[in-house]
């Protein structure tokens, strides 16, 4: 393996290590759950991304074939990470935040954690 | 309409085939047939959960959108890392930012919410009950209006071109 490839792999690994560390440190430092939620989104993007890039470069130069698994990991992360974050945020809102602490929505319906969507039974009785 | 019942979601079928070929990491005829079978059977079994077929208006725009999001992720990662490392805890000003949506299709709103969460510094928390606006939590900003403008001009406008 050439020195050039080794350099790229090393840089990618160091970058991902730094961002993984910052993400973990953020979990300790930030003060409530909704702020802490921001920290792991870092670890899953550049943190994991760096390792995946390093892995692709390594297999390309060492074994001479292009590995597609890393791209799939990226795809699955991009599919699952936002959904997890969204569920945590909603749970946190339902348990810890009252509706009047949030800015109002721009329509006549409130945020879906607190308000029912149009067309449900509760909604019909509210309109009457 | 038989074809439509057999292949309710051609794009989903194609994606499943490509993901399967990627998972086995080896292109053979057997894998191609198996992947095609998955691509046909899974959309049929799950068709009840996907009543509408999303329209993809301009496929090339998807690549542009992906590249822009990747770039934003790298930039925002560095910004948020700096906030976490060097900003005093009391000086971090988090904001809830309601963003009115012009998008109407469920797929487009899902992609937008995912993009907002994956770009560090912002997390999409919940939708308005009728889906006409989205509530975003921003880790630190001095100017909530500029965050809203960014989301609307960088992401929503492009998604509108792709999906509608």
**Looking at beta carbons, which residues of chain A come within 8 Å of B137?**
34, 37, 89
State the distance between the two ends of chain B, measured CA to CA, in whole angstroms.
24
Structure tokens at A99: 């509706």
In chain A, the number of structural domains is: 1
**ipTM field:** 0.80
CB contact under 8 A, A105 and B132: yes
Closest CA to B99 of B122, B132, B72, B73: B132
pLDDT of residue B33: 92
Burial (0-12, 13-18, 19+ Cβ within 10 Å), A47: buried
Where are chain B's structural domains? 2-49, 61-163
Tell me whether A9 touches chain B (CB under 8 Å). Answer: no
d(CA B88, CA B83): 8
d(CA B148, CA B134): 10
The SS3 assignment for B98 reads strand
Whole-model pTM: value is 0.83
**Looking at beta carbons, which residues of chain B come within 8 Å of A72?**
19, 22-23
Domain B61-163: CATH architecture, name and number where available: 2-Layer Sandwich (3.30)
pLDDT of residue A121: 62
Nearest chain B residue to A87 by CA: give it. Answer: B125
Contact A62, A1 (CB under 8 A): yes
Taking the CB of residue A85, how many other CB atoms lie within 10 A of it? 24
- Tell me what the pLDDT averaged over chain B comes to: 84
Identify the domain containing residue A42 by its residue range.
3-127
Closest partner residue to B128 (CB to CB) among A35, A83, A105 is A105
The tens place of each residue's pLDDT in chain A, 128 residues long, gives: 788 889 999 999 999 999 888 888 888 888 888 888 887 776 667 888 889 989 988 888 888 777 888 888 888 888 888 888 888 888 888 888 887 788 887 777 888 878 777 776 665 565 55
pLDDT in tens, B88-105: 878 888 888 888 888 888
């Amino acid at each position: 393996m050439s020195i050039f490839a080794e350099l790229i792999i090393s840089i990618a690994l160091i970058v991902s290590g730094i961002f993984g560390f910052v993400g973990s440190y953020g979990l300790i430092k930030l003060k409530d759950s909704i702020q802490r939620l921001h920290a792991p989104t870092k670890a899953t993007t550049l943190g994991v991304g760096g390792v995946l890039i390093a892995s692709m470069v390594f297999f390309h130069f060492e074994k001479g074939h292009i590995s597609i698994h890393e791209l799939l990991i990226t795809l699955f992360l991009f599919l699952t990470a936002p959904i997890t974050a969204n569920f945590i945020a909603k749970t946190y809102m339902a348990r810890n935040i009252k509706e009047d602490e949030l800015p109002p929505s721009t329509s006549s319906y409130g945020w879906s954690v607190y308000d029912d969507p149009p067309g449900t039974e509760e909604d019909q009785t509210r309109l009457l | 309409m038989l074809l439509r019942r057999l292949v309710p979601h051609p794009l989903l079928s194609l994606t499943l085939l490509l993901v399967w070929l990627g998972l086995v990491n080896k292109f053979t005829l057997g894998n191609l047939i198996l992947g095609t079978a998955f691509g046909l059977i899974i959309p049929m079994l799950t068709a009840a959960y996907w009543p509408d077929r999303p329209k993809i208006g301009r496929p090339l725009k998807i690549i542009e959108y992906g590249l822009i999001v990747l770039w934003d992720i790298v930039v925002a990662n560095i910004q948020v890392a700096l906030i976490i490392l060097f900003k005093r805890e009391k000086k971090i000003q988090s904001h809830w930012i309601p963003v009115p949506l012009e998008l109407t299709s469920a797929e487009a709103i899902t992609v937008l919410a995912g993009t907002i969460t994956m770009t560090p510094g912002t997390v999409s928390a919940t939708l308005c009950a009728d889906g006409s606006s989205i509530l975003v939590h921003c880790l630190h900003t001095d100017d909530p209006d500029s965050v809203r403008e960014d989301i609307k001009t960088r992401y929503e406008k492009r998604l509108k071109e792709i999906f509608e």
